[in-house]
Amino acid sequence: MTRYALILSFLVWGLATSQSVLAHHSEVAEYDPEKPVKVTGTISKVEWQNPHVWFYVDVKDEQGKVTTWGFSTAPPGALLRRGVTKDALKIGAVVNVQGSRARDGSSNASGRSVTFADGRNVLMAGEDAR
């Protein structure tokens, strides 16, 4: 490979990879720490995959209407390093979740802390989880 082609390849590679890094979001850009969320409900779905684990909680209001909240957490590897495995988020488990609401006002939030019916608490997101 000529020197020119090598330099050009490096520049193209650098531009391509820098775009993917810039495309990744920060938690503060997507979720508003000034709008805390606390919900209690039943886990209805879990997506254990990169870049972040998502789980969904069905929450009933006083009239019995169900709203499904989606919670983004840390990546799977970060959760595993904390001892949080796929088995921790069982469908049907009743949980209390705390986090920050999505800036777009949807029923999505950062799932920072999860407390289970037995009192066990697991930190699911935050700077030390990433």
Residue 14 has which token pair?
């650098």
Tokens of 22: 């810039």
Residue-level pLDDT, tens digit, the chain, 130 residues:
565 554 555 445 444 444 444 445 567 778 999 999 999 999 999 999 999 999 999 999 999 999 999 999 999 999 999 889 999 999 999 999 999 999 999 999 999 999 999 999 988 876 544 3
- With H, G, I as helix, E, B as strand and everything else as coil, classify residue 23: helix
Concatenate the DSSP letters of all residues of 41-104 into one string: EEEEEEE--SS--EEEEEEE-TT--EEEEEEE---HHHHHHTT--GGGS-TT-EEEEEEEEETT
Q: Are 76 and 96 in contact (CB under 8 A)?
A: no
Q: Which domains does the chain have, with CATH numbers?
A: 26-129 (2.40.50.140)
